[in-house]
Amino acid sequence: MTKSETIVVIGAGVIGLSTALLIQENLGSQQSVLLVARDFPWDSSINYASPWAGAHYRPVPGSSPQALREANQARRTYQHLKEIALTSPAAGIQLVPGVEHLEKPPAEYLDTQSVNNVYSHLPDFQYLSKNELPAGVKWGVKYGTYVINSPVYCAYMLRKFVLKGGSTHKYSLVNIKEAFTLADNVKTVVNCSGTGFADPKSFIIRGQTCLVRNPVSSTITRQNGDGSWSFCIPRPLDGGTVIGGSKQPHDWDPNPSPEIRAQLLTKAAKWFPFTPESGSQFDVIGDIVGRRPAREGGLRIEVETIENGKNIVHAYGAGGRGFELSRGVAEDATALMLDKGLLSVQAKAAL
């Protein structure tokens, strides 16, 4: 009789949850999935980045291998978000207009091919004419996109995983090899830990945003004349509006900065579509500080074979684009597992 095998997925962030769900769909009859994480969607930790995210789907043009790879992952993720938004309203995903106004557009935004690579699949995409651009803005587009209530979406995926038979274990791993001891007959561990384990290329990017009550019907991204970026993202299901954003690589300060909050709100106040009763003031709920798990060179997605024929499937290092790339990363990691024979779907199909 074939001994049952457990596949361990590390990490319950948006990429870990997305990957665990897709692996679950491709399991063999003698395989199961255990999701191991230090933090789950009901937890609140600065090191658990996903629930703190805005989050919205926003394309990023570029021509480097990393940019092209992420554009492909993003496109597939967009299609997945579309399907969920249509079938599961409780997941916290909503289609809204997306608007971008750039005062000092980088070269990649002026390259038609780079822009088409990442924007052309979006509904109602079009460049804004000079008459439609606010004062000082040199480049602008609008399109249909998705905003995500990040804690709701993470909870939705976890609930779906458990209802489909997945198991969970709350545990703080010190060494990735510990994961092989957390269940019987573990041959494959999937590393969606965010920053990996002692990966010298990994680093954190501190992000601070502000959650406000002011309503807005679209997600707006603004590049300011000094090169900094501002944005507003409405969270579906009455989750407020997120005002951002800041990026501070290698900054480990966990405390919200009043100065950064003031900068975020002052910049956003110049373009935010306030309702008349607001008095052009933000109604602040609170500050959000999180650590985005980034990696030099982008995501690590590969299979590493260690002793005794055991395998680690790495899928981490998305930085601030976890939600935008999540389904594409999950598909790439699962495809590697299928290619290496780590998922025995044929055995399941034979039942």
| pLDDT confidence bin for 277, thresholds 50/70/90 | very high
Q: How many CB atoms lie within 10 A of CB 307?
A: 6
* pLDDT for residue 350: 33
- Exposed, middle or buried, 236 (CB in 10 Å: 0-12/13-18/19+)? buried
Q: Is the per-residue pLDDT at 107 higher than 60? A: yes
What's the pTM value of the predicted model, to 2 decimals?
0.94
Q: Could you give the count of Cα atoms lying within 13 Å of 65 in the half-sphere of its Cβ?
A: 3
Q: Is the per-residue pLDDT at 174 higher than 60? A: yes
* pLDDT for residue 331: 98
Q: Which domains does the chain have, with CATH numbers?
A: 5-340 (3.30.9.10)
Q: Is the per-residue pLDDT at 2 higher than 70? A: no
Give 78-92 pLDDT, tens digit per residue: 999 999 999 999 999
Q: Is the per-residue pLDDT at 70 higher than 60? A: yes
| pLDDT confidence bin for 143, thresholds 50/70/90 | very high
> Taking residues 122-145, what's their average pLDDT?
96
Pairing of strands 93-102, 219-223: parallel
> Taking residues 278-306, what's their average pLDDT?
96
Pairing of strands 5-10, 186-191: parallel
* pLDDT for residue 351: 31
Q: Is the per-residue pLDDT at 349 higher than 60? A: no
Q: Is the per-residue pLDDT at 345 higher than 70? A: no
* pLDDT for residue 44: 87
Q: Is the per-residue pLDDT at 286 higher than 60? A: yes
* pLDDT for residue 245: 84
